Amino acid sequence: GIVPLAYSPMGQGRLTGKYSAESPPQGRRRFGAHPMEHVEAVLELVRRVGETNERTPSQVALRWLVQKGAVPIPGAKNQEQASLNAGALGWELSATDMAALDAVALEGRRTIHGRIFQHG
């Protein structure tokens, strides 16, 4: 079968928990046409699910993709980020968490007019 590759699985840093609507990235990474407000509901949910599962928002986002059958291609600037990304492996999201993430992802897609993180 065909396996989808998930390019930019953390939405250019949006789903790492590093940025918020009140504290967006500066310069080149300021997200252009897709400001943080467009993904606040997704970010809030991955944070909550992460807290419940003792995982980071990034690990939740990556785990969701893996459980959907995709192969995420996350970036990592250093060994610490690579190790955090690897923390998406070896555990499972509950069916309830998967359903909630599916719903908020669909709503996020509607919010940004079907352009999922297309280089702002």
Parse the chain into domains and list their residue ranges. 5-20+34-111
* Cα–Cα distance for residue pair 13/9, rounded to 1 Å: 9
pLDDT of residue 28: 60
Helix pair 79-86, 57-67: axis angle to 10 deg: 50
What pLDDT, in 10s, does the model give residues 19-45? 777 777 776 655 555 566 767 888 899
What pLDDT, in 10s, does the model give residues 80-103? 999 999 999 999 999 999 999 999
Helix pair 57-67, 95-111: axis angle to 10 deg: 100
Give the global pTM. 0.80
pLDDT of residue 66: 96
- Reduced to 3 states (helix: H, G, I; strand: E, B; else coil), residue 35 is coil
- Contact between 49 and 103 under an 8 Å Cβ cutoff? The reply is no
